[in-house]
């Protein structure tokens, strides 16, 4: 049965496309191999405090919060008549060279400022590659291939989980046997392979004269209350709201003005065409973004991330400085975590994607609160009274936490991929993901601030119990705002 599924996937999308998607996401997951070394670089060599390390990590991951910019670039400004592959090549180069430079120049690794700059540049390349591949997936699953939407998402996340498993397994081991510069150089091999693999995928050049993107703006209209796009000539119920008619009138007026401008400037320069393309994309994006099935879940998901202070880096310091857990074991814990992510992906597609999102998200946050209880047990040493080893608590928390997080993420990935209108796939999908990443980044900054306020340092973790307690209470807060999720919405579009 699985062989038949793989054969249909290959026949529908082609082996080179599936290989590239798998490789990009595998590389994303395998970054755990090198980020383990980065964590020890900040703690043992740069001697940064827990809050300072948390701050560096937050800054380094900030490029993931502006993903719509990369989507707009790839959607509106093609290079050599192509929208996706050239940007994938650029992003891969940006991902490759920081690791090469850090591996070859020891002086750059010895400064927190230069390390932060190169890590930020590397994340810029990774985030851009993620946007481009997401857009390629969204384009690939439209129309008759929509039935493969969940399968492609499962393939991508499973590849990332597999990369995370191998990266975590090898990361802890190599730290005990190799130098950090060698680890950086070894990791650069994967982006190099990804760069070469871009040549395997063929992308049809855009016919600029046809301006097909603008025809999509004219002929496509996003359904007001629901979950998919309809053609303009498809009968729909007339709204009773005069405000909606007024807003639609304004939007159609802008489209007519844009169409007129297109007809006037079509023979003009590429700059004029790209300017029109950019404006067209913004109009389409604004129209799509207003839809409740996109806007309301995005608002909830952003809040659910930003409201919870991220103390992961602080807990890493506690586990290594107080509990004296070695790098190899922490790598094993991450392997368990990535395995939990794979299980979460499978469990969602098998059992939960037809369930109401409100129920899935409520139980997900209750589960995450229970995981925070494990951290409280670990910090308060309550588990010692129950004769439970430290390592068991760490392993259980890693496995359950990553699995439950997938129950939050998978529904929105599938919905966003199916709702992307032609021409702005990268931008709309990236907008959703950037909201998620911005919320996570702000949550990380909040965690750094909380650690600083509580005076948590490498020498003193006395107040960590209060930080973890705040994290637990904050995890339950988003449940009160689940009314932002459409009542009947599920992980499937109708």
The residue written with tokens 């839809």 in the block is 291
- Express each pLDDT in 458-470 by its tens digit: 888 999 999 999 9
Whether the Cβ atoms of residue 427 and residue 131 lie closer than 8 Å to each other: no
Question: Could you give the 3-state DSSP secondary structure of residue 83?
Answer: coil
Q: Give the pLDDT of residue 220.
A: 40
Q: Give the pLDDT of residue 150.
A: 63
135-141 mean pLDDT: 76
- Express each pLDDT in 156-181 by its tens digit: 878 888 898 899 888 888 888 888 88
Q: Which helix (H) or strand (E) holds 452?
A: helix 425-453
- pLDDT over threshold 70, residue 493: no
Q: Give the pLDDT of residue 389.
A: 92
327-343 mean pLDDT: 84
Q: Give the pLDDT of residue 240.
A: 45
Q: Give the pLDDT of residue 30.
A: 92
285-294 mean pLDDT: 74
Whether the Cβ atoms of residue 40 and residue 179 lie closer than 8 Å to each other: no
Range scoring the smallest mean pLDDT among 117-126, 281-290, 350-359, 382-391: 281-290
Q: Give the pLDDT of residue 232.
A: 39
Alpha helices in 105-148 (DSSP H): 106-109, 112-140
Question: What is the pTM for the complete model shown?
Answer: 0.75
Nearest to 327 by CA among 32, 26, 27, 60: 32
* Percent residues over pLDDT 70 in the chain: 76
Q: Give the pLDDT of residue 142.
A: 61
Burial letters 223-252, b for 16+ CB under 10 A, else e = ebebbebeeeeeeeeeeeeeeeeeeeeebe
Whether the Cβ atoms of residue 292 and residue 225 lie closer than 8 Å to each other: yes
311-323 mean pLDDT: 92
CA–CA gap between residue 260 and residue 279 (Å, rounded): 13
DSSP line for 400-435: HHHHHHHHHHHHHHHHHHHHPPTT-HHHHHHHHHHH
Q: Give the pLDDT of residue 294.
A: 73
Measured between alpha carbons, how far is residue 35 from residues 21, 316, 417 in Å?
A: 22, 12, 29
Question: Could you give the 3-state DSSP secondary structure of residue 332?
Answer: helix
Nearest to 16 by CA among 145, 189, 124, 140: 140
- Residue 167 burial (10 A CB sphere; 0-12, 13-18, 19+): buried
- pLDDT over threshold 70, residue 264: no
CA–CA gap between residue 418 and residue 141 (Å, rounded): 8
Whether the Cβ atoms of residue 418 and residue 426 lie closer than 8 Å to each other: no
CA 34 to chain CA mean position, Å = 19
Measured between alpha carbons, how far is residue 457 from residues 56, 115, 343 in Å?
A: 15, 21, 35
- Residue 350 burial (10 A CB sphere; 0-12, 13-18, 19+): exposed
Whether the Cβ atoms of residue 469 and residue 337 lie closer than 8 Å to each other: no
Q: Give the pLDDT of residue 102.
A: 86
């Amino acid at each position: 049965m699985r062989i038949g599924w793989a054969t249909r996937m290959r026949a529908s999308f082609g082996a080179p496309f599936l290989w590239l998607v798998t490789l990009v996401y595998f590389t994303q997951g395998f970054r755990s191999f090198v980020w383990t070394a980065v964590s020890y670089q900040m703690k043992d060599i740069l001697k940064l405090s827990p809050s300072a390390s948390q701050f560096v990590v937050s800054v380094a991951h900030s490029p993931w919060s502006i993903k719509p910019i990369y989507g707009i670039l790839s959607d509106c400004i093609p290079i050599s008549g192509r929208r996706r592959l050239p940007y994938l090549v650029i992003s891969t180069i940006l991902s490759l060279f920081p690791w090469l430079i850090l591996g070859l120049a020891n002086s750059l690794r010895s400064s927190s400022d230069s390390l932060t700059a190169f890590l930020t540049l590397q994340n810029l390349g990774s985030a851009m590659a993620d946007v481009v591949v997401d857009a390629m997936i969204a384009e690939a699953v439209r129309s008759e291939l929509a039935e493969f939407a969940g399968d492609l998402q499962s393939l991508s996340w499973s590849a990332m989980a597999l990369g995370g498993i191998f990266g975590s397994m090898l990361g802890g081991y190599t730290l005990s046997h190799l130098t950090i510069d060698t680890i950086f150089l070894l990791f650069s091999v994967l982006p190099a392979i990804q760069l070469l693999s871009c040549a395997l995928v063929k992308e049809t050049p855009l016919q600029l004269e046809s301006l097909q993107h603008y025809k999509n703006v004219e002929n496509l209209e996003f359904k007001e209350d629901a979950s998919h796009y309809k053609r303009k000539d498809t009968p729909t119920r007339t709204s009773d709201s005069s405000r909606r008619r007024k807003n639609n009138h304004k939007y159609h007026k802008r489209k007519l003005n844009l169409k007129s401008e297109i007809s006037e400037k079509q023979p003009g320069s590429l700059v004029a065409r790209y300017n029109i393309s950019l404006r067209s994309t913004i109009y389409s994006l604004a129209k799509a973004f207003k839809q409740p099935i996109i806007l309301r879940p995005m608002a909830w998901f952003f809040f659910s991330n930003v409201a919870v202070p991220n103390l992961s880096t602080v807990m890493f310091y506690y586990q290594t400085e107080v509990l004296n857990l070695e790098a190899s074991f922490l790598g094993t814990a991450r392997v368990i975590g990535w395995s939990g992510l794979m299980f979460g992906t499978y469990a969602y597609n098998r059992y939960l994607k037809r369930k109401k999102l409100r129920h899935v998200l409520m139980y997900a946050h209750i589960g995450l609160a229970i995981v925070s209880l494990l951290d409280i047990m670990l910090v308060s040493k309550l588990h010692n009274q129950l004769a439970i080893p430290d390592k068991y608590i760490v392993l259980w928390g890693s496995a359950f936490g990553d699995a439950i997080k997938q129950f939050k993420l998978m529904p929105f990935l599938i919905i966003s991929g199916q709702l992307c209108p032609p021409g702005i796939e990268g931008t709309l999908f990236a907008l959703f993901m950037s909201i998620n990443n911005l919320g996570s980044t702000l949550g990380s900054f909040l965690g750094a601030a909380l650690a600083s306020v509580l005076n948590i340092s490498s020498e003193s973790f006395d107040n960590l119990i209060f930080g973890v307690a705040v994290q637990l209470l904050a995890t339950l807060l988003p449940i009160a705002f689940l009314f932002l999720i459409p009542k009947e919405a599920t992980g499937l579009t109708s």
